[in-house]
Amino acid sequence: MESDKRKILTAKDLSKTFSNGSVQQHVLKNLNLSIYKGDFTVIMGNSGSGKSTLLYALSGMDRPSMGTITYYTDKKNGDNKEIEETEISTFNNDKLAMFRRDHVGFVFQQNYLNDSMSALDNVMVCGLLKSTDRKSLAEKAKRLLHNVEIEEQDYRKFPTQLSGGQQQRIAVVRGVINSPEVLFADEPTGALNSQNTENVLNIMSDLNNEGQSIVMVTHTIKAAERGNRIIYLADGVISDEIDLGAYVGDYKDESNPNLAEAKDRHSRLKAFLQDMGW
Ligand SMILES: Nc1ncnc2c1ncn2[C@@H]1O[C@H](COP(=O)(O)OP(=O)(O)OP(=O)(O)O)[C@@H](O)[C@H]1O
Ligand SMILES: [Mg+2]
């Protein structure tokens, strides 16, 4: 798909091969993909199709076996805004870690919060990797926690003293504390009950509406519907994709003013997935 939106990154001829003893498993196979600014991109596909592997490669959590990943980031040069191109696929671990700190956020299925730190400190520690201005960072962290409906009385609680849904909302805040170019999420609602799933999806939609670019892997139509661009991965290659347009609310909510459009999006997504053999 060619888009007139600004590119955030382009993966070219991406391959990932794992060696299990003498057996080589080709998990990603010459995959080509660009991610665009402002999009809520969703990646679906059967278990084992390579979704997590793709996400880790795109986000610089892991390196591909072959191919390139080029990021296009804003470089402020006086009054001129230039785009800086960075090819990350050959970076060593330190350079990758620095690149992730500056440009990428991540949310996993498990929240991976540090149990020995308060909710607020879990967010702060990540922010302090990039910023030394503790005061404005704390303000930002509290504002974001407030936005995801974490109450002030819970800022000092440890993750184990909070519900699974609260923990995942804190993990999302941690993912965006450094204002990443793109937030990657690997089944962020996979371990949540339906109410918490709804909350976290609402937060992802809110973030996207405020301009946050998101790439999310999911197994559910409910989560996928939040995206505007759905990509289907099969056996390490992109089978097809669909442009759904922006999320317009729940297709089952009779009070939704965009109900007709919501229903149309839902049935187009269902038909697409059916075509994909999902
Ligand atoms: N570190 C690794 N070492 C060896 N094989 C791996 C490794 N990571 C993934 N694989 C293999 O690569 C294939 C794709 O894995 P991946 O985790 O990307 O799939 P997925 O699409 O995310 O699946 P799921 O929906 O179950 O999360 C699997 O067969 C898996 O066993
Ligand atoms: Mg996975």
Interatomic CA distance for residues 41 and 33, integer angstroms? 11
pLDDT recorded at residue 2:
60
Check if 53 has its Cβ closer than 6 Å to any atom of ligand 1. Answer: yes
Q: Name the closest ligand to CA 44.
A: 1
Task: Quote the ligand 2 centre to 76 CA distance (angstroms).
Answer: 36
Q: Average model confidence (pLDDT) for the chain?
A: 95
Q: Name the closest ligand to CA 56.
A: 1
Could you give the percent of the chain with pLDDT greater than 70?
A: 99
Looking at ligand 1, which residue's alpha carbon is closest to its atom 6? 18
Check if 50 has its Cβ closer than 6 Å to any atom of ligand 1. Answer: yes
Min mean pLDDT across 1-15, 160-174, 224-238, 245-259 is at 1-15
Task: Quote the ligand 1 centre to 53 CA distance (angstroms).
Answer: 6
**What would the mean pLDDT of 2-29 be, rounded to a whole number?**
93
pLDDT recorded at residue 3:
67
CATH 3.30.70.100 fits 38-50+91-275, yes or no: no
pTM here? Answer: 0.95
For the CA of 53, the closest atom of ligand 1 is 18
Check if 48 has its Cβ closer than 6 Å to any atom of ligand 1. Answer: yes
**What would the mean pLDDT of 271-275 be, rounded to a whole number?**
98
Mutate which of 25, 55, 278 for ligand 1 pocket (most atoms within 8 A of beta carbon): 25
pLDDT in tens, 24-41: 999 999 999 999 999 999
**What would the mean pLDDT of 215-236 be, rounded to a whole number?**
97
Check if 27 has its Cβ closer than 6 Å to any atom of ligand 1. Answer: yes
Looking at ligand 1, which residue's alpha carbon is closest to its atom 4? 18
Whether 166 has a pLDDT exceeding 60, the answer reads yes
pLDDT recorded at residue 87:
97
pLDDT recorded at residue 81:
80
For the CA of 45, the closest atom of ligand 1 is 21
Check if 49 has its Cβ closer than 6 Å to any atom of ligand 1. Answer: yes
**What would the mean pLDDT of 53-81 be, rounded to a whole number?**
92
Could you give the percent of the chain with pLDDT greater than 90?
A: 93
Task: Quote the ligand 1 centre to 54 CA distance (angstroms).
Answer: 10
pLDDT in tens, 89-114: 999 999 999 999 999 999 999 999 99
Whether 177 has a pLDDT exceeding 80, the answer reads yes
pLDDT in tens, 114-153: 999 999 999 999 999 999 899 999 999 999 999 999 999 9
Looking at ligand 1, which residue's alpha carbon is closest to its atom 5? 18
Whether 270 has a pLDDT exceeding 90, the answer reads yes
